[in-house]
Structure 1
Amino acid sequence: MNAGPRLDRRLGTGDAVVIGLGSMIGAGVFAAFAPAARAAGTGLLVGLALAAVVAYCNATASAQLAAQYPESGGTYVYGRERLGPWWGFLAGWTFVVGKTASCAAMALTFAAYAVPPAWQRPAAVAAVVALVAVNYRGLTRTAQLTRVLLAVVLAALAVAVAAGLSAETADPGRLTDWSAGPHGWYGVLQSAGLLFFAFAGYARLATLGEEVRDPARTIPRAIPLALGITVAGYAAVAVTLLVALGPEGIAGSRTPVADAVAAGPWDWAPPLVGVGAAAASLGALLGLVAGVGRTGLAMARTGDLPRWLAAVHPRHRVPHHAELALGAVVCALVLAADLRALIGFSSFGVLLYYLVANVAAYTQPARHRRWPRALQVAGGAGCVVLAVTLPWSSVVVGVATLAVGAGLRALRRRRPPAPAGHRA
């Protein structure tokens, strides 16, 4: 796993937390609450808590593994080291294809808030090209831009919470009104699966393990800290939406955060929400490009992806071939795919990825353990339960894509090795 040029360790704890927050506080907070309300009504608060618990279990697994294996690649590396090459491939392949779809979803979400419909796909392509260029220049620039975008997003959400709670129609009694919407456990679990999409960026830090200073100390601190801040922010937004709009109002809205702000007393606030949503999407896309590129680098180093993708730029010390290839694929998806299909497919891949992380962390010996194995059991079970709440079409496409990847790997492994001096 250590062959090839290495990346530079430039990130401290603060930079790592910022990248984690920028990866999590993205378009999901502006879009995920409406379908969650349709599934569970006021029970979306329970769904949010369940999603946060599963995310925490997964985060502890990722942090514990990243401290032992501080290399680029995240769970792809952990699966290979702890469970074997095929487990690693399962994690890496599902991460790369799922998060490539998520990159396209973030780009389209940005464009939906930023430009008129006729210009959305060209604007999404332009955003992908621009952020790939930023990542190409080095990860410290990624962290710097993420700080700016995150500040804009947090300011917009703070205004949204204040405006929504100040609305004349605000009613705290809606928080205890369980008469609206379905209340079965399936609805609550479905809302948890939908809201988990909004948490799915925390392991981006683990994929950057080769570029973090003192990873055994920094990563286990940064992942839970970033997740905790995100949970607090999402809870505040969820309560605000229920108080300002009620479950029916959230369920019937395409932009519930904007609608909650519009119900408030400040006419200047709604445009700020659009700016915040666009910035959130760009911040998430920026972190996704960095994480997917580095997982692609790790897979290429072992031959699970073409070895051309393992190149590291001699000056900027980034996996530039992997990031350029990712940008090209994402641009193609942006021009051809549907946003809703991209989100469902991405969620399926992410849940399988974290399932492998939990299984791998469960096998770690006592000297490398920082949390009890019960958390890995809960995290793995949670991933399975949330996965079955996804639309069947997302599951079918996800399984088919996994089968294609496994078939290609099997064919590649059956080929005789190239003679020395002639390897790609």
Structure 2
Amino acid sequence: MPRRRRQQQGLERVLGTPALFSTAYGNVGSSIYYALGVTAVFALGLTPIVFVIAGLIFAATAATYAEGTVRYPEAGGSSSFARHAFNELFSFGAAWAQMLVYIATVAISAFFVPHYLAVFWEPLRENPWDIVGGAIVIVILVGINIVGVREAASLNIVLAVVDFATQLLLVAIGFVLVFSPSTLIENVELGVAPTWSQFFVAIPIAMLAYTGVETVSNLAEEVRDPARNVPQAYKLVAAATFAIYLTLPMIALSALPVFREGDGDYATRLGLPPDKGGFANDPVLGVVQNLGLEGQTLDALEIYVGVLAATILFIATNAGVIGASRITYAMAGYRQLPSVFRKVHRRFKTPWLALVIFAGLLPVLAILPGETNFLGTMYSFGATLSFTTAHIALVVIRYRRREEEVLFLAKPNIRWRGVDWPLFALLGGIGTLIAWVVIVLQDAQTRWAGFGWLLLGFVAYAVYRRWFVRASLTETVRAPALVLIAPLEVAFRTIVVPVRRTPETEEALFAAARLAAANRRTRIALVNVIEVPLDRPLDADMHDAELEAERALDAAEALMETYEVRTVTRVTRARAAGPALVEDALARHAELIVVGAPRTRIRRGKPIFGRTVDYVLKHSPIRVLVAAGRRAA
């Protein structure tokens, strides 16, 4: 058991740029296995151009999420940004749109798992067996997450790297064997193949390719240095996905060109269903089968790509299941949803009801019609609305909080009237808003289903807030942090401990470890605040202080390892440690702060425990436990 704990600690500590990139690309990169076919249905020969346009919008969105996540390193993404920019009503709207995104992500990812496993049994490519297989995948993953089995983080990282390498390999083979610029040109007849209506609808649908942009934001709480790691991870994810989605569609349309059907319509086998000889259900396998390879080489590559794709999609489905449960838990924590969705299972300590309904029941219902295109357009409806909210929220935050010091400011910006206006957010917001409007106007089924989802959410939110919470729709109200799991038994999900290399910190760590040891779901957040003098910028070079912070956190982790409790670490910068600690605890939805303080004699006008501890005691809305030294007062 101690050995396993050491392995987990090591994985949690590597949530730097490489681990963040691998985890995010594992989700974003998985979408190529279904987005390629769904987009080609509409974009035809302009599929590569459509992915480039969607990629530019994604790059702007990634910059917005990078800055917003560094400012507010908490789970929630656009919902969190909207809360800080506007109020709780806007935050709920963004969160409810995110919920739709997660439901669609779980449904479409699970639905495509059996398609790629059809290399072993052909009926899995079509209804009803793909519906049955997708539903089974969802049920299995919901059950796993209720029981609380931990993901193998190292396996996810390895698979993400293998996935990216495989996609690059397919591109390289394709450029050698089938790439044809003349075919790509002949594939397009502007205004006809595709029509302008199809082209504009394809752009928001192509954003399905960037499923998982919220991943880095949701992992921000587990990143030791968000100001450094989060922006770098988003840049790498944007560059990698842009490279794949620029080149692989070109290979695909060279291997599977556009042709005219008997009824006069234009199509590509990349977007046709299996009963018409197409590969809409497994587009990457379709590319593999048409690269010009033969014999055992083709058979081996088909099996390899099929198994890898199914595995990556399985992991992406699990990420959606986790995301749905996290956003549900966060919404219930801010009294946007009933508190019952925040309650954990008595035995497994997981939010089982949120998992069953939002990650299980609703995605299964979405799969039942077996309509891939509908799942794609519903994802686009929710994603473009959520992204638009994030862009607008960042613009408002830049304006309203222009005097605030920040650790990271995304670029490019334009300075006007004393405000650094985020050009990327302005252009990205216009792009995502136009994409959302196009989806609403062009697809009636998605329009009514999407607006029905929003109407249901806002009505339920209004009723719950007015009749049960008895608060206004715009007021931020936190649910009680304490969770009672049995008579007189208290369970803390998150405990924050400020860390310095002092005997008092050791006392605090011992106290937190004893509280956490009884509950395997409790997580201890070890936080070191580097206090930056007023005469220096927040992002000033403070190498010695950073080195000392890393050593203090390493020592604290080593101590926690002996108690076999889960930990995450954070280095942050601030002018004063007290406010930074309170903000960090609030962002994590922590139930308890444990601080170490020396026992000193009380002197008139002097803080009893010191400036930082006194501030936390006076200003924290969260319970505070002071672990004092052994000397008498």
Range class of TM-score, shorter chain? 0.7 to 0.9
Q: Does 1:239 align with 2:250?
A: yes
Superimposed CA distance per residue, residues 190-225 of structure 1 (whole angstroms, 9 cap, x where no aligned partner): 222221111131222112322222223222221221
The question of whether the paired residues in 1 share the 8 Å contact of 2:28 and 2:211 is answered with yes
Q: Say whether residues 1:110 and 2:152 are aligned partners.
A: no
Q: Quick one: structure 1 residues 40 and 324, their matched pair in 2 at CA, closer, same or farther if it must change by over 3 Å?
A: closer
Other-structure match for 1:348:
381
Q: Which structure is richer in relative contact order (CA contacts within 8 A, separation 6 or more)?
A: 1
Spell out the pairing of 1:278-317 with structure 2 (5 A cutoff): 278-311=310-343
Q: Matched residues in 1 for 2:347 and 2:81: separation?
A: 28
Distance 1:383 1:219, change over 3 A: same
Give the superposition deviation at 1:62. 1.1
| Cα pair distance change 1:415/1:362, threshold 3 Å | same
TM-score (norm 1): 0.86
Which amino acid letter does the alignment assign opposite residue 259 of structure 1? G
CA shift in 2, pair 1:357/1:318, >3 Å:
farther
Give the counterpart of 1:15 among 1, 6, 19.
Answer: 19
Q: Does 1:123 align with 2:155?
A: no
Moved more, 133-142 or 290-299: 133-142
**Does 308-317 or 295-304 show the bigger shift?**
308-317
Deviations 1:399-420 (A, max 9, x none): 11101100011111111548x9
The counterpart of 1:25, out of the listed 18, 23, 29, is 29
Q: Mean Cα displacement is larger for which, 405-414 or 258-267?
A: 258-267
Give how far 1:48 is off.
1.2
Matches within 5 A, 1:337-376: 337-340=369-372, 341-365=374-398, 366=402, 367-368=405-406, 369-371=409-411, 372=413, 373-376=422-425
Identity %, equivalent residues: 25
**Does the 8 Å CA contact 1:165/1:243 hold for their aligned counterparts?**
no
RMSD: 3.2
Moved more, 88-97 or 358-367: 358-367
Higher helix share: 1
Q: CA deviation at 1:389?
A: 3.4
Alignment partner, residue 3 of structure 1: none
Counterpart CA distance in 2 for 1:42 and 1:84 is: 44
User: How is 1:213-232 mapped onto 2 (pairs within 5 angstroms)?
Assistant: 213-232=224-243
> What amino acid is the match of 2:184?
L
The SS at the match of 2:110 is helix
Letter matched to residue 374 of structure 1: L
1:271 matched to 2:274? The reply is no
Moved more, 63-72 or 152-161: 152-161
SS at match of 2:298: coil
The answer to whether the Cα contact below 8 Å between 1:83 and 1:360 also exists between their aligned partners in 2 is yes
Q: State which drifts further: 131-140 or 277-286.
A: 131-140
Please tell me whether the aligned partners of residues 104 and 363 of structure 2 are also in contact (alpha carbons under 8 angstroms).
no
CA contact (8 A) 1:348 1:394 kept: yes
* Amino acid paired to 1:384: L
CA distance in structure 2 between the partners assigned to 1:136 and 1:215 by the alignment: 29
CA distance in 2 between counterparts of 1:388 and 1:213 reads 39
Report how far residue 89 of structure 1 moved: 0.5
Higher-Rg structure is 2
Where does 1:38-117 land on structure 2 (aligned, <5 Å)? 38-115=41-118, 116-117=123-124
AA of the residue aligned to 1:157? Q
Amino acid at match of 1:261: V
Gaps of 5+ in 2: 1-10, 260-267, 273-277, 414-421, 471-478, 485-633
Where does the alignment leave 5 or more consecutive residues of structure 1 unmatched? 1-7
Change over 3 Å in CA distance of 1:417–1:127 after alignment to 2: closer
Name whichever of 272-281 and 140-149 sits farther off.
Answer: 140-149
Aligned length: 414
Structure 1 residues 416 and 132: CA distance shift in structure 2, 3 A:
closer
2:173 is equivalent to residue 173 of structure 1? no
Instruction: Summarize the Cα distance change of 1:18–1:66 in structure 2 as closer, same or farther, 3 Å threshold.
Output: same
**Matched-pair contact (CA < 8 Å) for 1:57–1:376:** yes
Question: Shift of the alpha carbon at 1:319?
Answer: 5.4
| Amino acid of the structure 2 residue aligned with 1:300 | A
Alignment of 1:381 with 2:413, yes or no, is no
